Amino acid sequence: MCNFSDEKLKASYEKLKDSRVEDKMLYKWISRAIDDLSENAFCGIQIPKKLILKEYIKRYSIENLWKYDMPKGWRLIYTIAREEICIISIILEWMDHKNYERRFQLLIIISEFLNLLLYARWQNRQRIL
């Protein structure tokens, strides 16, 4: 099962169907993603917890984040929730590759930097011991 995070997002998706050619293609890609996610919610790529944007956690109260790669660099961002015995994919948004990189690249850089700092700190402790 696959749902949208809110009615506004669902309306944006439906609007794509009757738009320009490029938007119609995006509609087809998202439709394909919805079919795939309905078959297997885990078919995307899980984004590490430390890279989940605080905006998503605050706005949607999510605990996990996944991305589904679509043609021409488009990404569909979703989360997986459990409802009784059902697993549901909830689409949060979609974006082109450029916007995806902007949103997530800074977090990746910060995460790698923090890992380097922790490693350097660990090495200093090993020298002292």
Sheet holding 86-95, edge to edge: 2-4, 86-95, 75-83, 65-69, 45-47
β partners of residue 45:
67
Mean of pLDDT values over 59-88: 87
Q: Structural domain boundaries of the chain?
A: 2-96
pTM: 0.72
Taking the CB of residue 71, how many other CB atoms lie within 10 A of it? 10
Work out the pLDDT band at 71, boundaries 50, 70, 90. very high
What is the tens place of the pLDDT at every residue in 33-70?
A: 999 999 999 999 999 898 888 888 998 999 999 999 99
Paired sense of beta strands 65-69 and 45-47, if any:
antiparallel
- Are 38 and 60 in contact by the 8 Å Cβ rule? The answer is no
Q: What's the pLDDT at 28?
A: 95
